[in-house]
Chain A
Amino acid sequence: MALRGRCLRFNQLLSSRHFSKFTSCVGVRSLSENVSSKPVTSNVPETTGDHLIYTQEHFALKESLRKIIDQEINPYVDQWEAEGKFPAHKIFKILGSAGFLGVNKPVEDGGLGLDFSYSVAVAEELGNIHCGGIPMAIGVQSDMATPALARFGSAELKKEFLIPSIMGDKVACLGVSEVGAGSDVSSIMTKAVRKGDEYVISGGKMWTTNGTQADWMCLLANTSDGPPHRNKSLICLPMNLPGVHIARKIDKLGMWSSDTAQVFFDEVRVPCKNVIGQEGMGFTYQMLQFQEERLWAVANVLTSMDNIIQETIQYTRQRKIFKQPVLYHQTVHFRLAELQTEVELLRSLLHRATALYIKGNDVTKLASMAKLKGGRLVREVCDSCLQYWGGMGFTSDVLVSRLYRDTRLMSIGGGADEVMLGIICKYMDTLPRK
């Protein structure tokens, strides 16, 4: 009794998506075998001992995180996508309590003090969430709004902002991009003018993930009139200060469960001690973490691609066309093989870059290449796979259409493709010489 109940519940928890097949010859819709379209984890060909960067602890970490995803997140994704917001405080608290938000943060701040390969493992596992919005929001909390604070922040600042963020008690957001400045960070206009013991902040930020729920923002603002790469500072800004206006929640093509805000600052006063590290170093601090941000994004999207390919195989295996499974048509299984090959290539690049990075190397070129390829490949994978789902791929009932929308962002956010290309060319020394 109880066993069946539990396992049925498991099924309901774990296979949240069902779809039905339409038979064209009879005018009646027939419910064919319910295929669970829950994503499948990739087959890791290596044994634990042989893996390039992962140890048994990495795999144990992934398994535990997967349980949290399966029980606390995935059953509710459809609902949160429809509502346009996921409960960040609730989810971050669960993740924070289990130690997943401070993987590579210092132990004295409540982190685990582990190397970046553990963060990559977390990022990979988060790709099993049935949408792109929630992993993105988690990534902002764990690896975009907090690294500079962890490295350069004062003890007081860490106590107020970093430690609660790692524990999942406070939701963080990152305020860098503006309406007039995305790729061109150096041209942001938000000013923080020093008046006595305070900064008075005016301006606004755009594309703020977690913006409507955040307790604090890691804000990049101009704090002096110097050269554009040296006049900016990172400031820990509580979001409940007078003058902080959350203008609107932006309605987007995808990433629906992640609330993205446009924020205005109307003479917001914040103590000077809220500056992270040195004044004027904000731009440099933010740049330092780009390698990690980019590798993180790639790790996340790799799992999504594996899952989409596997789901597409499962669907096309049971969906018949002209009397045989769609999968049996050579164009289909050959194309899926091509895509999987490229996914493995990207995975190898990610693991190679991670291995070098944790040894202390600068992997800017490889990380930029990986991000560039990741953004482009995921578009290809989603697009090709969606085609094989036929009409069903065009509906909101299936994961492939959601990820098709969500993953389009990767070529834009976190460093647009064009910026990645510029960086790679710089390393290849092919840019026009002055």
Chain B
Amino acid sequence: MGSSTSLVPKSVTAAINAHGFGYFGCPHTFGQVGYRLKRTEQYIRVKPDNSSVVTDGVKHSMNPFCEIAVEEAVKLKEKKLIKEVVAVSCGPQQVQETIRTALAMGADRGIHVEVTGKDYETLGPLQVSKIMAALAKKEEAQLVILGKQAIDDDCNQTGQMTAALLDWPQGTFASELSLEGDKIKVVREIDGGLETIKINTPAVVTADLRLNTPRYATLPNIMKAKKKKIANVKPADLGVDITSRLEVLRVDEPPQRQAGMKVETVDDLVGKLKEAGMV
């Protein structure tokens, strides 16, 4: 369900536009892994018509990778490398809670892009990227940081699409991020190990697991966040068409785990596996 987090750092050299906003958007999504369809809090159940999962009464919280993205943004601001962190989230009224969490972690202000009802159910990475690209241009952001993927749909597309729409360089799966002059050095986690790249700003970066450990929103900051502003915006205001080009045909639960069996010896094990036709 629409996810994007972005952070924009301010460049310190004069050659680049001095506006620096930290952009940060967070998805409004479930707090647990999809593959097991089991939540930290409750079991996720598929609706009887197999159209999607039941979301009523399920507790939503910020996507873990988005938390990491917010943390990175706030850290950059604390190091005085960027001027302002803006948290963005797309969705219904409830996403404001998620934005407030980002504010409590240290973001300066929030932008709530209102998407509700059926539009929200069909909101996917392409539409979110269009929204993010429009906002990045409007706010004259220098860096957009997102979580690498949302843990409910595992798309891993929004960051890449946003960069493409903006024609900006991208540093995805970042496990380390540093600003060096007007460039950004990103250490990326790839299958073969770690890859270090240097990209120009403005740029899009997506946060991976080991980028940092997100701070707890402290109670004083939670209370301070109350005073920070969250602006309301509609996709139409940004000139973005959010009609979906995708149709979800069916959602099914993973097969039930069957009972296992304990055996005494390796021979027994091989025997049973042969019986079951597995070897």
Q: Is A61 part of the contact surface with B, judged by Cβ < 8 Å?
A: yes
Q: Is A114 part of the contact surface with B, judged by Cβ < 8 Å?
A: yes
Are the C-beta atoms of B100 and A43 separated by less than 8 Å?
no
Residue of A32, A33, A64 near B104 (CB, 8 A) is A64
Which of A3, A11, A61 is most buried by chain B, counting CB atoms within 10 A of its CB?
A3
Using CB atoms, name the residue of chain A closest to B61.
A63
| Residues 1-29 of A contacting B (Cβ, < 8 Å) | 1-8, 10-11, 14, 28-29
B-facing mask of A41-82, CB < 8 A → 1, else 0?
101000010000000110111011001101000000000000
Q: Is B257 part of the contact surface with A, judged by Cβ < 8 Å?
A: yes
- Interfacial chain A residues near B222, Cβ < 8 Å: 57, 60-61, 64
Q: Report the stretch among A96-104, A275-283, A339-347, A368-376 that lies at the interface.
A: A96-104
Are the C-beta atoms of A30 and B151 separated by less than 8 Å?
no
Residue of A28, A61, A118 near B262 (CB, 8 A) is A28
Which of A8, A34, A40 is most buried by chain B, counting CB atoms within 10 A of its CB?
A40
Chain B, interface size category, equals 35 or more
Are the C-beta atoms of A60 and B217 separated by less than 8 Å?
yes
- Interfacial chain B residues near A38, Cβ < 8 Å: 40
- Interfacial chain A residues near B100, Cβ < 8 Å: 56, 60
- Interfacial chain A residues near B41, Cβ < 8 Å: 40-41
CA distance in complex: A68, B218 (Å): 10
Q: Looking at the assembled complex, report how far the CB atom of B211 sits from the nearest CB atom of chain A, in whole angstroms.
A: 10
Q: Looking at the assembled complex, report how far the CB atom of A121 sits from the nearest CB atom of chain B, in whole angstroms.
A: 10
Decide: A100 near B149, CB < 8 A? Known: A4-B35, A30-B260, A60-B101: no
A-facing mask of B2-41, CB < 8 A → 1, else 0?
0000000000000000000000000000001101101011
Are the C-beta atoms of B262 and A112 separated by less than 8 Å?
no
- Interfacial chain B residues near A3, Cβ < 8 Å: 33, 65, 149, 151, 154, 209
Q: Looking at the assembled complex, report how far the CB atom of B149 sits from the nearest CB atom of chain A, in whole angstroms.
A: 7
CA distance in complex: A91, B210 (Å): 24
CA distance in complex: A86, B192 (Å): 42
Using CB atoms, name the residue of chain A closest to B226.
A57
CA distance in complex: A43, B217 (Å): 23
| Residues 232-278 of B contacting A (Cβ, < 8 Å) | 256-257, 259-262
Residue of B65, B225, B256 near A60 (CB, 8 A) is B225
Q: Is B220 part of the contact surface with A, judged by Cβ < 8 Å?
A: yes
Q: Is B117 part of the contact surface with A, judged by Cβ < 8 Å?
A: no
How many residues of chain A are within 8 Å of chain B by beta carbon? Answer: 42
CA distance in complex: A386, B260 (Å): 27
Residue of B61, B97, B151 near A7 (CB, 8 A) is B151
Using CB atoms, name the residue of chain A closest to B42.
A40
- Interfacial chain A residues near B61, Cβ < 8 Å: 63
- Interfacial chain A residues near B257, Cβ < 8 Å: 33-34
Using CB atoms, name the residue of chain A closest to B262.
A28
- Interfacial chain B residues near A6, Cβ < 8 Å: 64, 209
Q: Is B57 part of the contact surface with A, judged by Cβ < 8 Å?
A: yes
Are the C-beta atoms of B262 and A14 separated by less than 8 Å?
no
Are the C-beta atoms of A30 and B219 separated by less than 8 Å?
no
| Residues 73-126 of A contacting B (Cβ, < 8 Å) | 97-100, 103, 112, 114, 118
Using CB atoms, name the residue of chain A closest to B189.
A2
Chain A interface, >50% SS class: helix
Are the C-beta atoms of B223 and A33 separated by less than 8 Å?
no
Which of B42, B189, B223 is most buried by chain A, counting CB atoms within 10 A of its CB?
B223
- Interfacial chain B residues near A1, Cβ < 8 Å: 191
Are the C-beta atoms of B151 and A60 separated by less than 8 Å?
no
- Interfacial chain B residues near A36, Cβ < 8 Å: 38
- Interfacial chain B residues near A70, Cβ < 8 Å: 40
- Interfacial chain B residues near A103, Cβ < 8 Å: 219
Are the C-beta atoms of A63 and B101 separated by less than 8 Å?
yes
Are the C-beta atoms of B218 and A33 separated by less than 8 Å?
no
Are the C-beta atoms of B256 and A33 separated by less than 8 Å?
yes
Which of B40, B225, B261 is most buried by chain A, counting CB atoms within 10 A of its CB?
B40
Are the C-beta atoms of A10 and B40 separated by less than 8 Å?
yes
Are the C-beta atoms of A97 and B261 separated by less than 8 Å?
no
- Interfacial chain A residues near B59, Cβ < 8 Å: 41
Q: Is B84 part of the contact surface with A, judged by Cβ < 8 Å?
A: no
Q: Is A253 part of the contact surface with B, judged by Cβ < 8 Å?
A: no
Q: Is A428 part of the contact surface with B, judged by Cβ < 8 Å?
A: no
Residue of A43, A97, A114 near B218 (CB, 8 A) is A97
CA distance in complex: A85, B142 (Å): 50
Q: Is A287 part of the contact surface with B, judged by Cβ < 8 Å?
A: no
CA distance in complex: A36, B32 (Å): 13
Q: Looking at the assembled complex, report how far the CB atom of B60 sits from the nearest CB atom of chain A, in whole angstroms.
A: 11
CA distance in complex: A63, B102 (Å): 13
Are the C-beta atoms of B219 and A98 separated by less than 8 Å?
yes
| Residues 202-232 of B contacting A (Cβ, < 8 Å) | 208-210, 216-220, 222-223, 225-226
Are the C-beta atoms of A64 and B216 separated by less than 8 Å?
yes
- Interfacial chain B residues near A112, Cβ < 8 Å: 219-220, 223
- Interfacial chain A residues near B149, Cβ < 8 Å: 3
Q: Looking at the assembled complex, report how far the CB atom of A33 sits from the nearest CB atom of chain B, in whole angstroms.
A: 5
Are the C-beta atoms of A30 and B259 separated by less than 8 Å?
yes
CA distance in complex: A112, B197 (Å): 44
Are the C-beta atoms of A67 and B216 separated by less than 8 Å?
yes
Are the C-beta atoms of A99 and B57 separated by less than 8 Å?
no
Are the C-beta atoms of A99 and B220 separated by less than 8 Å?
yes
| Residues 128-174 of A contacting B (Cβ, < 8 Å) | none
- Interfacial chain B residues near A56, Cβ < 8 Å: 97, 100, 226
Residue of B36, B151, B219 near A100 (CB, 8 A) is B219
Are the C-beta atoms of A29 and B262 separated by less than 8 Å?
yes
Using CB atoms, name the residue of chain A closest to B173.
A2
Are the C-beta atoms of B216 and A68 separated by less than 8 Å?
yes
Q: Looking at the assembled complex, report how far the CB atom of A386 sits from the nearest CB atom of chain B, in whole angstroms.
A: 22
Name 10 extra pairs, CB < 8 A, besides A6-B209, A7-B151, A41-B59: A3-B154, A14-B40, A36-B38, A48-B97, A56-B97, A56-B226, A57-B223, A60-B104, A60-B217, A64-B104
A-B contact pairs, 12 of them (CB 8 A): A2-B189, A3-B154, A5-B209, A7-B33, A30-B259, A30-B262, A31-B262, A33-B257, A34-B257, A57-B222, A64-B104, A70-B40
